[in-house]
């Protein structure tokens, strides 16, 4: 059985391998982002066609909050199916209204258009308030540069997905006090 140190070493090696396999793509993605932002000296003096094309394409791919439409499969006429579908539809509608879903979707679409990898994830966040435990689920944008994919030729064969996550000192102290104390 592998120790925790061996497990961490293996996953760091996996992430390094994925990063090296995507090295050329990551350089090109960063270059596309820089052209879009016109950050290089003199870039702002010429017409930035990448910016204008992106501003045209993105709204055609995502322009408004989706409206949930949940129905029983096979036109099931049972009352339980209708109620379950209605409950799921209302839960989805509430979730989309409870946070800024549009910003998340727009950011993921822009990342898909520019560097070629748009990513959003659903995050489960339990929390406690006045002695009560609550659950929250929200969709959040993950910038393309903070995502790593296990090597594969197609999406269905992707063995793992890793997200780079930045923690505050307090979060790190809670997660790993032995590390957080040295940061």
- Residue 48: per-residue pLDDT: 76
Q: Return all residues near 129 (Cβ < 8 A) that are at least 6 apart.
A: none
41 or 157, which is more confident:
157
Per residue in 133-178, pLDDT (tens digit) is 998 888 999 999 999 999 999 999 999 999 998 888 888 898 888 8
Look up residue 99 and give its two tokens.
């946070």
With cut-offs at 50, 70 and 90, classify the pLDDT of residue 42.
low
Share of the chain above pLDDT 90, in %: 61
Are 26 and 145 contacting, i.e. CB atoms less than 8 angstroms apart? yes
pTM of the model: 0.80
Describe the chain by its helix, strand, coil percentages, rounded to 5.
Answer: 55, 15, 30
């Amino acid at each position: 059985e592998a120790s925790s140190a061996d497990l961490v070493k293996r996953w760091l090696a996996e992430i390094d391998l994925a990063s090296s396999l995507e090295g050329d793509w990551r350089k090109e993605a960063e270059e596309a982002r820089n052209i879009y932002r016109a950050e290089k000296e003199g870039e702002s003096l010429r017409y930035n066609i990448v910016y204008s094309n992106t501003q045209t394409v993105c709204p055609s791919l995502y322009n408004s909050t989706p409206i949930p439409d949940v129905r029983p499969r096979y036109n099931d006429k049972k009352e339980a199916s209708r109620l379950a579908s209605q409950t799921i539809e209302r839960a989805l509608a509430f979730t989309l209204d409870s946070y800024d879903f549009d910003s998340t979707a727009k950011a993921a679409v822009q990342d898909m258009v520019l560097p070629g990898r748009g990513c959003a994830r659903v995050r489960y966040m339990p929390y406690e308030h006045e002695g009560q435990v609550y659950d929250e689920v929200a969709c959040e944008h993950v910038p393309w540069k903070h995502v790593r994919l296990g090597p594969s030729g197609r999406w269905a064969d992707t063995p793992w997905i890793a997200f780079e996550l930045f923690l505050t000192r307090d979060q790190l102290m809670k997660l790993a006090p032995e590390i957080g104390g040295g940061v």
